[in-house]
Amino acid sequence: MFHFLCASTKKEASRLAADLAIDLLKKNPEAVLGLATGSSPLDFYADLVEANKAGQISFKKVKSVNLDEYVGLAPDHDQSYAYFMHENLFDKVDILPENTHLPSGTAKDLDAECRRYHELLLEVGTPDLQVLGIGNNGHIGFNEPADVFPENTSAVTLTESTIRANSRFFSSMDEVPKMAISMGVGEILRAKKILLLAFGTAKAEILEKALFGEVTPRVPASILQTADEVYICADDEAMAVIREKHGAIA
């Protein structure tokens, strides 16, 4: 079931998403959060940092599990997802470092690391809220279009389109990691609430396909149609195709 949190700009829409998370953390200060990186959650995290600074919420008892990490990048690499999380959230709020978790991109044995992360997800517990972005090709986490939905954490080969999209953060194409470790679709769907953030014209087509098209592993985000409580946070640009085809639903 989809609930729409829409506003004209990314900033305003992110505020609605932040209010959802703030409300959740006020009610449950021991919440488990599933977190995403990328450009979509930046304003959302900034709002959570502000709410923490203002004393409205605390992360002292919060636990977090991130969706993914690039294979080959150590946490101190400035394009690693661990680095991103420290820069944009962890170092700016009162979360305890031992309560934050990401897959290790530098593990020697990737299969063992995927198994370790799967076990860790079970141990940490069901996320109360899972934050997601959506790739231009419909990926969630780094679950790329495929023949089946990957159930559990796995090492994935990134598609050309994802490598191209990610290259904006690297000085050359050669430096862009070609693999990542990603939570599986089954693990993502365990969350009690899911928050999908989509902003800008580049996401308009795929957002419509994911929410209203066929449920298929060719469009991994389409699996969200089967989840109970999904919040779609989008700006006017990302909502354009949905509104064009389905009217003013939000």
Question: DSSP label at 156?
Answer: E
The least CB distance from residue 176 to ligand F6R, in Å, is 13
Distance CA 151, CA 154 (A): 9
Per-residue mark of binding to ligand F6R, 65-94 (x: CB under 6 A): --xx------------x-------------
Q: Is 103 in the site for ligand F6R (CB under 6 A)?
A: no
The least CB distance from residue 22 to ligand F6R, in Å, is 21
How many helices (H) does the chain have, and how many strands (E)?
A: 8, 10
Q: Is 139 in the site for ligand F6R (CB under 6 A)?
A: yes
Asked if residue 131 lies in contact with residue 33, where contact means CB atoms within 8 angstroms, the answer is: yes
Tell me, what amino acid is at 176? V
Q: Which lies closer to ligand F6R via its Cβ, residue 37 or residue 64?
A: 37
Span of 1-9, 21-29, 139-147, 184-192 interacting with ligand F6R by CB under 6 A: 139-147
**Alpha helices, DSSP H, located in 125-235:** 160-166, 185-188, 204-212
Q: Which residue is nearest to ligand F6R, using beta carbons?
A: 133
Concerning whether 139 is annotated as a catalytic residue, the answer is: yes
Concerning whether 68 is annotated as a catalytic residue, the answer is: yes
Per CB under 6 A, the list member of 18, 25, 85, 140 interacting with ligand F6R is 140
Distance CA 117, CA 102 (A): 8
* Nearest of 88, 93, 91 to residue 56 by alpha carbon: 93
Q: Is the dihedral of CA 60, 65, 66, 70 positive or negative?
A: positive
Per CB under 6 A, the list member of 103, 105, 127, 135 interacting with ligand F6R is 135
The one catalytic residue in 43, 69, 144, 235 is 144
Structure tokens belonging to residue 94: 């009162």
Per-residue mark of binding to ligand F6R, 1-40 (x: CB under 6 A): -----------------------------------xxxxx
CA 64 to chain centre: 12
* Torsions phi, psi for 65 (to 5 deg): -130, 125
Concerning whether 237 is annotated as a catalytic residue, the answer is: no
Concerning whether 137 is annotated as a catalytic residue, the answer is: yes
Contact residues for ligand F6R, defined by CB under 6 A: 36-40, 67-68, 81, 133-135, 139-142
Q: What residues are annotated to the active site?
A: 68, 137, 139, 144
